[in-house]
Structure formats: C-alpha cells, structure tokens
Amino acid sequence: MYEPQPDSRLTHDPEPAQEGPEARVPCPSSKRGHAPAAPPDACDQAHEDYEACQELPAPVSDGASPQSDAGAPGLEDAAICGIIILLAFVLRFIYILQWQRNPGFAHPGMDELYHDQWAQAIAAGKTFLEGPYFRAPLYPAFLGFIYKLFGHNYLAPRIVQAVLDSLSCGLLFIAGRQVFSRQVAAVAGFAAASYWMLIFFTGELLIAPLLVFLDLLLIILLLRAGKKPGALLYGLAGVVMGLSAIARPNILLFAPAVVLWMLVRHWRELRRGLVYIACVTAGCLLPILPVTIRNYVVGNDRALIASQGGVNFYIGNNPWSDGRTAIVPGTPGGWWEGYYASIALAEEAEGRKLKPSEVSSYYYRKGWEFITQQPAKALSLLALKLSLFWSSWEIPNDKGVYFWTERFTPIVKLLPLGFGVVGPLGMLGLFLSRRRGRELFPLWGFILVYSASIVVFFCNTRYRMPIIPPLILLGTWAVYQTVRAVKQQRWRTVGASAAVLAVAGVFVNVTPGSENFRTDADDWFFLAQLYESQGHGTPALRCYEQSLQVRPDFLMARLRYGKLLIRAQRPTEAIAQFRQALAAPPRLATNESQATLAEAHALLGAALAETGAFAEAAAEFQAAIPALPPAKSIRAQVSLGRALAALGRNAEAIDVFKQVLQVDPGNERAASELRKLGIAP
C-alpha cells in the first residue's frame, strides 16, 4: 500500500529534471550529497521546486534510519499503525464508559432518534417511511445491521463505531505513508487518535465515524492510484465514493474534481485515462443505482439518493438564516413536526400534493430566489458560513458538545487538541502543498471541495468531521517542513509560513458572535426532560431552573418547570412560573407560539384549580381553549367544566361536558363528570 520514497541525499541518479510540481530537484543544502552547500537565499530558491527536498526522510538524529524510512513498509510501519489503532480504541472505549453516565445514553433525541427508529425498522424488516428516502440510507442500514447482530441496545453500536474510528486513525497513518515520511504519518495518526471531537462522535448515533472511515479510504485509494494507476484501484475508489454518497450525497461534488485530476494525470495517454474515468464512474454508480431504483419503484419518484437536499439548501439560504440553525423558517423545532410542516408549507405554496422530489425542488427554487433577488445579503451569508465552517468553536446541531462533555466525560479535559490548532496548521499545509498539487490532490482537493459542499448549505461541527483527518495530516507535514526550514536557515520559506499561519490562526480562532454559539439553555432543558422521563423529579427541577437562569424567556422550559412543580405538590410556585410565562412577550408571532401561550393559560388554570381558585381557573381555561390543538383543547374543556361545577355553575358545566362528548363521544372523563351532576351521558 505504500510507495517507496527515494532519498535524494543518498542517490545521485543522473536523471533529467522533470517539469511541474513532480520534479525531483537536488537539495543544495544537503550535507550528504556531493553538491556543496548553498547560501540560504539560494537554498530558498531551490526549495520553491520542492518535492525532493520537501520529502526527505528524517535525519538519523531523529531516531529512524533513512534507508528503512524510504523503503517498502515493514514491521515498523505495521507496529506503529497497530499502536495508533490501539491507543485510539482505548481512548474511545474510556470515553464511551464515561458517556454511559449521561441519562441520554439510552434515550436518543432528534437526529439520533431518527436514525435509531429507522435502524430498528430495518432490523425488524419493516418499512420506516413510505416513499423515496428522505435521508441517505447507509448509516441507518449500518446501525440496523448492528441491531440485527447484537439486539437493540445502545452500547454495541458505540463500541463498533469506536473500532471503526480507531481504524480510521490507522488509515490516516497509511495515507501519510503514501506521500510523506514515517515521522509525519505517525504523528498525524497519534494526533487523530487523541482528537477529542473525533472521539466525541463515536458516542453519538450519527454518521460521522462511518463517513470519516469511508472518505479516508477513498483518499488512500486515490493517492495510490495516482502513483500506480490501474483500473482496479480506480474502480475501488469509485465504489468507496458511491458508498460515501449513500451516506452523505455531497461527496458527489468531489467527483468532477476527481475526473479533472485524472485527465491532467493521464492526458498523455488519454485513452487509458478515459478507461480509468469509466472505472471510477462505474464503481461510484454501483452502490448508488440500487438506491435510485428503489426510490423510483417504491416511491414512484425520481430521487437519486435522498430528497432532503432542497430543504437543507433553503435552510442555509434564506433571509432569516444564521448559517447554522437547522430549521426551515415558519416551522416548529421538533424533528417530525418540522419535517411535516416543511412539506405542508411547500404544498400550500404550490396548491397541490407534492412528491418528495418536488418538495425538494420547491425549496431549491426558494433558496435560489433569495440568492438572485438579494445577492448582497446572500454573499454576506456565504461569508458568514465560511467563517463558521472554519471556526475553532465547535458549533452544535443536536446538542452542545461542550455542555455534555464537561459534565459526563472528564477524559475530554485531558485531550486538548482541537480545531483551533488543527485548522490553522491544516491551512498552512494546504498552502505548502501547492508545489505538489497533482500528487497531493486527493488531500487538498478533498478538503476544499468538501468544505465548499457544506458551506453552500449550512454549517455545524459534525458536517466538517470528514476533513479533520486530512487537515491533521497536512498540518503535521507543515510543521515538519517549517521546522526543517528553520534548521536549514531558509528564512523566506519560514517567513511565508509564519505569515500564512498567523492569518489562518486569526481567521480560525477569532469568530465574531461565537459567544452566542453555546446552547446551554437548550441543553439544560433537554437534560431536565431526560431526568423527568426517567422519574428523577428533583434533578429535573434543578435542570429546568438552570435553563431558565441562562435564558429567562425560554417559554417552553418555564411551562415544563411549572408542570413539574404541580406534580411535586407545589402549585403556588407553579402559578408564579405560568404568570411569568404569560407576562413575557412572545418571541415569534407564529401559530406555534400562540399554541404555547394557550398551553400556558391552561396550565395556569390547572395550578389555580389545585389551590381552590376556581373562578380564576375557569377564566384561564376559557382563554386557552380556542388556540389549543384538538386533543389539548378537549382536556382543557373537561377541566373548565370541573371548575364551573366547583363554583356551583352546574348548568354551564353540563353544557361544557356535552360539547366535549359531541366532539369525542368516548371521553370517559366528561361522561363521569356528567354522572356526578346527575345527568346521563
């Protein structure tokens, strides 16, 4: 799997110099070669053409034999790779053991819950969602296979993901040995093993570990094919790209860049190059076509892989977008609620029932309308998303990574390597790779194209995870190159590297508004719900209090807190919470916010009834009923009837109970209340 790296300090073949970025230029400053040492400026100039001098094996003083480092892989490489994988797995296993203390470990939410439910359906051989796939199916299928093997539990998939991610660290070492020295590859592998965000995602029921593995495998195959082209290697690369596409389709934007690279590599043998391109294309289509056919047969719709693209495009390209929040404007925040509401909005706008692909097309059009009609705002939003994607701040999606790791996984405190370091160093590596552009394209091309494929939508931490390993590798190589330039007194190279690193460091580590990226109020709220659902009332109350302390206008948290206070026999405190909720101005004038305020009236009525203030309770129920959804409205009407009966207003109470039974004839509570009043239902 590795390509021998000739040592220009030890070999003196009289080959003519090649043109372009792959030229082998003797290193003037080499003390081992026959050429006399050159002054620093001359050495700087020679190193502008740098492949030979850039990729010399480490000197003997580094503790490695130059001859063995330049040779074919052997036991030393295998041992280093094995140690990297072992260290990576130990760290991830410890993390998962600590993560089990999290009350949400066995209670997934949002995207994790969606994947979990889909995987359970796959394991049981059932249909999860009618029609074509809304999301790419590979990860739920992967998760479903694990459930089929080990049963439905939440430890097994995380252990499997830990193994997979540990293997990815080994793959990074292998990728490094394709193009760099053993030292660079080893340091990069160990850095990936201890990179805390890679470790974090092994504990989530999310796609990141699988996608990182597939994309690293793709990079290795392309690097190898670039050195020793063959139909089999290119075909395998295509298959892996296709698998990555049915995990997250935006990798397909990398495909045209790969084809262009192949044309450049093989332009002197164009016929052979076209054969290789055909192999990549056929390999890529191999995993994709069954999904496309299934979407057409099952859903009678034309969706290549999934129908989610348009919705995501509009989320990241609309006048209200902040570049990171995954909510369609005008829809509620819950996963299924938002899903069905986004379809309803599109169908209402089009005036007809839409197929999933038509819903996607509708939102693509909406996004492009925003871009074409408000170009200045769209360009500003694009710049914001670019800044967010390269920000050192880990932007949350389903949960705040800082909040949860600070409380449940102390091992993370011992793992300081983060994007604030990897991002700038990786950018420096991108800069230095320009002279080896064709050879290193699978690294730098993947990083740039994949980054662009995310930025055109919206950004968060988990979407950028596939570029982390190649950034680590290029960043490690950049450090190695810069240190050697200092030793060789190539000050122009050092100065240019320092300037690039300084600019990149500021760009990555200074993100305006990042202080607002934390979602502690939402995370406290979610943690409170977890405790409450598991019957732990006291910690749930404390978590609701913390949520409201962070964000006093968090209406839903205040309502849930008040409801729990009622159950805890603390109605007076609950009344205060509900009154405060109703006194706060609504954050959005939407049907959802009106329904939430109506629920606040109903809950206040229930709390007042607990204290015997039935007249006030009846008034609150009457205020709530018109805006509540049907099921909650019926419950509020029953409570209103009870309050009226308690006030001795039996005739009014009877009318209310009869109205309930007209809408819901089987409502036993209304029937029971009528019998108490001497009326047969």
What is the per-residue DSSP string for 578-636?
Answer: HHHHHHSPPSS-SHHHHHHHHHHHHHHHHHHHHTT-HHHHHHHHHHHGGGS-HHHHHHH
pLDDT beyond 90 at 201? yes
When pLDDT is cut at 50, 70 and 90, the band that residue 2 belongs to is: very low
When pLDDT is cut at 50, 70 and 90, the band that residue 21 belongs to is: very low
When pLDDT is cut at 50, 70 and 90, the band that residue 43 belongs to is: very low
When pLDDT is cut at 50, 70 and 90, the band that residue 31 belongs to is: very low
In our burial notation (b when 16+ CB lie closer than 10 A, e otherwise), range 405-443 reads: beebbebbeebebebebbbbbbbbbbbbbebbeebbbbb
Q: What is the pLDDT of residue 513?
A: 63
Cα 640 from Cα 390, distance rounded (Å) = 55
When pLDDT is cut at 50, 70 and 90, the band that residue 55 belongs to is: very low
Q: What is the pLDDT of residue 175?
A: 96
- Choose among 480, 415, 523: nearest CA to 92: 415
Q: What is the pLDDT of residue 519?
A: 76
Cα 212 from Cα 257, distance rounded (Å) = 19
| Non-local CB neighbours of 209 within 8 Å, separated by 6+ positions | 161, 164, 165, 168, 198, 201, 202
Q: What is the pLDDT of residue 1?
A: 41
Computed on alpha carbons and rounded to an integer, the radius of gyration of the chain in Å comes to 30
The tokens describing 438, both together, are 């064709």
pLDDT beyond 90 at 38? no
Specify the residue for token string 């706060």.
Answer: 584
> Which pLDDT tens digit goes with each residue over 448-469?
999 999 999 999 999 999 999 9
Share of the chain above pLDDT 90, in %: 57
Q: What is the pLDDT of residue 423?
A: 96
The tokens describing 614, both together, are 């039935």
Cα 173 from Cα 179, distance rounded (Å) = 10
Q: What is the pLDDT of residue 73?
A: 62
pLDDT beyond 70 at 406? yes
- Choose among 178, 43, 45, 58: nearest CA to 479: 58
- Choose among 179, 185, 162: nearest CA to 78: 185
Mean pLDDT, the chain, rounded, equals 85
Could you tell me the end-to-end alpha-carbon distance of the chain, in angstroms, rounded to an integer?
81
Q: What is the pLDDT of residue 629?
A: 83
Is 66 within 8 Å of 48 (Cβ atoms)?
Answer: no
Region 276-283: what's the mean pLDDT?
A: 96
Cα 430 from Cα 471, distance rounded (Å) = 8
572 C-beta neighbours (distance < 10 Å), count: 10
> Which pLDDT tens digit goes with each residue over 76-117?
999 999 999 999 999 999 999 999 999 999 999 889 999 999
Domains within the chain, CATH numbers bracketed:
1-72 (no CATH), 75-121+130-305+395-514 (no CATH), 309-389 (no CATH), 553-676 (1.25.40.10)
Residues, the chain, total? 681
**Residue 278 one-letter amino acid:** A
Cα dihedral 551, 553, 559, 560, rounded to 10, equals: -20
User: If DSSP codes are grouped into helix, strand and coil, which group holds residue 141?
Assistant: helix
User: If DSSP codes are grouped into helix, strand and coil, which group holds residue 211?
Assistant: helix
Region 599-613: what's the mean pLDDT?
A: 89
Cα 633 from Cα 681, distance rounded (Å) = 20
Region 226-234: what's the mean pLDDT?
A: 93
Region 330-340: what's the mean pLDDT?
A: 78
Instruction: Quote the pTM value.
Output: 0.83
- 37-51, 305-319, 667-681 — which is least confidently predicted? 37-51
Is 570 within 8 Å of 603 (Cβ atoms)?
Answer: no
Q: What is the pLDDT of residue 532?
A: 93
pLDDT beyond 70 at 23? no
Region 308-319: what's the mean pLDDT?
A: 92
Helices and strands (H and E) in the chain: how many: 32, 0
Region 602-611: what's the mean pLDDT?
A: 89
Cα 313 from Cα 324, distance rounded (Å) = 12
CA angle 643, 647, 648 (to 5 degrees): 120
Q: What is the pLDDT of residue 593?
A: 64
Q: What is the pLDDT of residue 72?
A: 54
- 270-279, 294-303, 474-483 — which is least confidently predicted? 294-303
When pLDDT is cut at 50, 70 and 90, the band that residue 239 belongs to is: very high
